[in-house]
Amino acid sequence: MARFFLPFLLMFLCVQTTLSSGVFELKISSFSSSRGVCGFQTRDCQIFFRVCLKHSQDVINPEPPCTYGTALTDIFGADSKSISSSAPIRVPFHFKWPGTFSLIIEAWNAESSIIGSTDNQNNLISRLATRRRLTVGEEWSQDVDFSNKSELRYSYHVICDEHYHGVECSAYCRPRNDTFGHYTCDEPGDRVCLEGWTGVYCDV
């Protein structure tokens, strides 16, 4: 029975290593506009941000589709404290991280009948469209943009999901110590046999 089961197990493990999984995270540190974030709006001003990731383009088209993914922040006050304390924007991906990409960040006035709607272009406060190169890692890259009479400070990084490793988040390795193997995983995602074990899957 075991000799018939083993090939299927090995095939499953090989399929696992071809998958990729990670998340792009972006944190808004501050945002201001010389025109006023919400124009002449008299009541409490609320905004949200939209992030769009695309494949690297020489001339960036900010319109959908966002080929690498998109996400919206929650709606919060336009004051500096609310913006700086907002949660990071997370864009999950399930492909090999390419390293280069197009990044679009939009600030929107939440004055809308549909919360979080990006249909009314009159509510678009500011848009940044840029190309970036980013390697996988915990360290945050810092950046600032001065355009559209506004100032946007932000940071971003890409991290692999649990058990995914390597520069593309494409090496799958889950530590185990059971019938199917006895190993830990190093940073690139290679198996490191526990003491006393050898073989490809550290089961000998």
- Please give the domain boundaries of the chain with CATH numbers for all domains: 22-160 (2.60.40.3510), 173-204 (2.10.25.140)
What was the pLDDT predicted at 45?
82
Tell me what percent of the residues of the chain surpass a pLDDT of 70.
83
What was the pLDDT predicted at 6?
43
What was the pLDDT predicted at 192?
97
- Mean pLDDT lowest for which of 32-41, 49-58, 137-146? 32-41
Q: Phi, psi at residue 82, to the nearest 5°?
A: -65, -40
Assess whether pLDDT exceeds 80 at residue 140.
Answer: yes
Residues in the chain: 204
pLDDT classification of 117: cutoffs 50, 70, 90: low
Q: Is 143 exposed, middle or buried (0-12, 13-18, 19+ CB in 10 A)?
A: middle
Q: Residues 62, 89, 20, CA angle at the centre, nearest 5°?
A: 85
Q: Phi, psi at residue 9, to the nearest 5°?
A: -65, -45
What was the pLDDT predicted at 41?
57
What was the pLDDT predicted at 18?
46
| Cβ atoms of 118 and 108 closer than 8 Å | yes
pLDDT classification of 81: cutoffs 50, 70, 90: confident
pTM over 0.85, yes/no: no
* Nearest of 49, 54, 52, 53 to residue 29 by alpha carbon: 49
pLDDT digits (tens, 9 = 90+) for 14-43: 444 447 899 999 999 999 877 667 665 555
Interval 80-92 mean pLDDT: 90
What was the pLDDT predicted at 12?
43
Assess whether pLDDT exceeds 50 at residue 95.
Answer: yes
What was the pLDDT predicted at 183?
97
From the CB of residue 79, how many other CB atoms can be counted at a distance below 10 Å?
A: 12
Max Cα distance, the chain (Å): 75
